[in-house]
A and B are shown apart, each in its own frame.
Chain A
Amino acid sequence: MSQFLDISGLNARIDADGQEKEILRGVDLVIPPGEVHAIMGPNGSGKSTLSYVLAGREDYEVTSGSVSFQGKDLLEMEPEERAAAGLFLAFQSPVELPGVNNANFLRTAVNAVRRARGQEELDAVNFLKTVRAAAKELGMSPDMLKRNVNVGFSGGEKKRNEVLQMTLLQPSFAILDETDSGLDVDALRIVAEGVKRLRSPQFSALVITHHQRLLEYIVPDRIHVMAKGRIIHSGGPELAQQIDREGYTKFLAEAA
């Protein structure tokens, strides 16, 4: 039986100014359905790259390895097909879309995935109701919906906006890339609750973070340590405190 998400021997590189740069060097990771896993690791270890490769960013070339997602070959799919299949990425640095109204963007996105999933599109009125309610739960002012996507949003507002999108797109698998960075304590709790609300046997997540604080709210099933493009250590939720106390030196030494 294939797993919900099964990453095996994944190697990926990028062409940086004409130089091939290996970033992922044999990532192995399995996430069963309904589980939330966390990835921690030093800056530049390849965490965001992994999330981009999973989401289908074309700049990264997968040189070997495989990723199966709900029985499908994820690497064969276009980014939008992955989104339709249930994959959601909350970006470490959400992109600004000048002139694009936030509510309109949300509706376009929601209806695009609904269409692809064979669901009926939401009309403007129903959509607005849903989105207003969701924004309220995340403590976002209704004003944020009228503004242009992420334009002039503060760091924390951008992150909340990512979580809002996640809530509305109802993914079966969400990757949260440092969604907790830049959030104040209250926002952190609100965002964590947003993730917790999605938790169900049909929802899995991969949470990338540097802080154990988030993991206190969202207690993950497993924590993985990533370094130099590989998962070098995995453990239970208690690993977070250990990393917080001791840093990565020990794991790095073990791996070497």
Chain B
Amino acid sequence: MALQEAVLEPGVRDFDIQPHRPRRGTVAENDSMNRALGWFSVGLGLTQLVAPRELARFIGIPDQPFLLRFLGMREISSGIGILTKKEPSNWLWSRVAGDVMDLALLGIALKSDESNRNKVLMAAAGVAGVTALDWMASRQSSEASGRILGLKTRDGMIAGRTAMTINRDRAELYRFWRDLENLPRFMNQIQSVHRRDERISRWVAKGPAGVRLEWDAETVDDRPGERISWRSLPGSRVENRGAVEFEDAPGGEGTEVRLRMEYRPPAGVAGALVAKLIGQEPEQQMREDLRRFKRLMETGEIPTTDGQPSGRSMMRRDRKYER
């Protein structure tokens, strides 16, 4: 069995599905640069948290304290991550993510009439400089680890796993999942699944920027009440594979459900990074899919606030935070 097929193997429960061992020394060599970037993050983050309005005024963008504070928290946590983690690569990547986000925001600000162009350009130049440093530092330390920006990757595939306990019978959960046409009810990215025959199904998903993606997948392993695994057929536009396992939870607390997936992102790992920046982190999305599955199975519906009133109803959608 080839290494990359491992995700299809039983034993989803085994947490360490992709051992990676950082090369010794890599981190230490970059120590002082890492530390400087770490402190820069903490400092910037504190400024964003404490004085969002002043900072907004200083860099010349419209006053959005909540957003700036949120970015501040992210900066501080990535700064602390860099300063304290033995193996800082994903924290460094989150700095890069942060930089790109800041640049994007400054880009938006540049278009808005409320901003002061010169100030924004100055700030952008500053951020771009730091981005370059971040990029170098993270490239160096992530070469050793197989993780980019918290994305677990192997051979250019994005990998993720997540687990939840569902207060339902194992057989019932299996049955619902086994009827693949049910999957779009809780998998946000999947628009439809049609069965061709017992083994082959046609999947339609919405990809980044609303692109329609289609592929055929085959069911590899189907053990009633225990596990289902699948993979895309060779030559598919979106190469992917996954497995879900069902196990009785101890103490009669329902069923432990574990989900693992790997896919080759249509726009490459870089595309996946961009997706992550706009809040579509693959592993988090898997977790939310599994959570929706849990909610649907336990309560018969998926709680939402999408469509409720608010004092900002002039906005089309009121679903800022649901993933």
Q: Do A and B come from one complex?
A: no
